[in-house]
């Protein structure tokens, strides 16, 4: 076997893969470098994973880039991260746009510095018509905030008479989430050996397969991504049904 890519069935790919990109700081610490050195190195992995996802046919990719909780980090680190983010968006966008990738920012953008906000808004607008893949960048994101924000909007629409309480269900609520333009992820990947969801897509991950790897994010390559997809395809997704029911459904659909 030369690559896990050779083992992947393109007929059974997840539509949506979400990734918690973790381990930049530890990667830098191992090399006795400042944390921002690890974040800079992690940009290479972002590039590789986006390329791999588009190459194999993933339609939606969500990257956990910066959480609402990350604003609590030391000011110099946050400032460096924002500068890195701005330069990365500017340097990578031409390739993303050329490859027909739509970019969506998912998070509380009101917390972003003005320069960053204007750049991400411009990026979204220019790429809005792209159709090959949607790249969701979870920036200034927190799932508990997102769910509370969605509930507030539902309440506002109910008071305004735009929606009736009896019409509120999982489908209508999903329309108020920031990821309503994407299906819920079938696969969540977390790097660096941590086994937490960390306030990421809590509602959307209800039926996601979880894949954890010890690999630190700056070392996460295309091959690591293909490996995660391969292991995803070895799992049986039952959605509350039995294996026998799934087999019967597959027979009736074939």
Whether 101 has a pLDDT exceeding 50, the answer reads: yes
pTM of the model: 0.92
Q: What is the pLDDT of residues 22-51, one digit of tens each?
A: 999 999 999 999 999 999 999 999 999 999
How far is CA 214 from each of CA 39, 114, 195, 218, rounded to the nearest angstrom? 17, 36, 10, 12
Classify residue 60 by its DSSP letter.
E
Whether 252 has a pLDDT exceeding 70, the answer reads: no
Whether 155 has a pLDDT exceeding 60, the answer reads: yes
**Separation of alpha carbons 203 and 246, rounded Å:** 24
**Separation of alpha carbons 84 and 73, rounded Å:** 15
Q: What is the pLDDT of residues 226-251, one digit of tens each?
A: 999 999 999 975 545 555 654 555 45
The residue with tokens 């509602």 is: 203
- Mean residue pLDDT of the chain comes to 93
Percent of the chain residues topping a pLDDT of 70 = 92
70, 130, 149, 199: which is the annotated catalytic residue?
70
12, 22, 157, 199: which is the annotated catalytic residue?
22
Residue 239: predicted pLDDT: 47
Question: Coil, strand, or helix at residue 197?
Answer: coil
Residue 2: predicted pLDDT: 79
The first and second tokens of residue 60, run together, are: 């939606």
Whether 1 has a pLDDT exceeding 90, the answer reads: no
Kindly state the average pLDDT of the residues 71-83. Answer: 95
- The answer to whether 108 is a known catalytic residue is no
CB-CB contact of 177 with 204 (8 Å)? yes
- The answer to whether 70 is a known catalytic residue is yes
In the chain, the domains with their CATH numbers are 4-253 (3.40.1180.10)
**Separation of alpha carbons 165 and 248, rounded Å:** 37
How far is CA 154 from each of CA 80, 145, 162, 166, 198, rounded to the nearest angstrom? 37, 14, 9, 12, 25
Residue 240: predicted pLDDT: 55
Whether 73 has a pLDDT exceeding 90, the answer reads: yes
Kindly state the average pLDDT of the residues 125-140. Answer: 98
Kindly state the average pLDDT of the residues 127-134. Answer: 98
**Separation of alpha carbons 112 and 122, rounded Å:** 14
């Amino acid at each position: 076997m030369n690559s896990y890519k050779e083992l992947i069935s393109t007929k059974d790919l997840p539509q949506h893969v979400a990734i918690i990109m973790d381990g930049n700081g530890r990667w830098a610490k191992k090399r006795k470098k400042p944390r921002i050195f690890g974040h800079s190195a992690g940009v290479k992995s972002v590039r590789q994973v986006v390329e791999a996802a588009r190459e194999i046919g993933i339609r939606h990719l969500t990257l956990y880039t910066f959480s609402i909780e990350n604003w609590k980090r030391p000011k110099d680190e946050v400032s460096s991260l924002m500068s890195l983010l701005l330069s990365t968006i500017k340097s990578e966008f031409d390739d993303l746009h050329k490859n027909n990738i739509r970019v969506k920012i998912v998070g509380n953008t009101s917390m972003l510095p003005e320069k960053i906000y204007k750049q991400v808004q411009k990026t979204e607008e220019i790429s809005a018509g792209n159709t090959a893949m949607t790249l969701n960048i979870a920036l200034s994101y927190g799932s508990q905030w997102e769910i509370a924000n969605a509930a507030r909007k539902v309440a506002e629409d109910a008071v305004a008479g735009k929606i009736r309480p009896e019409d509120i269900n999982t489908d209508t609520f999903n329309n108020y989430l920031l990821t309503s333009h994407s299906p819920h992820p079938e696969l969540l990947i977390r790097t660096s050996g941590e086994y937490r969801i960390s306030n990421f897509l809590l509602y959307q991950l209800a039926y996601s397969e979880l894949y954890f790897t010890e690999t630190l994010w700056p070392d996460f390559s295309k091959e690591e991504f293909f490996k995660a997809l391969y292991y995803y395809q070895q799992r049986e997704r039952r959605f509350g049904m039995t294996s026998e029911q799934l087999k019967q459904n597959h027979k009736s659909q074939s």
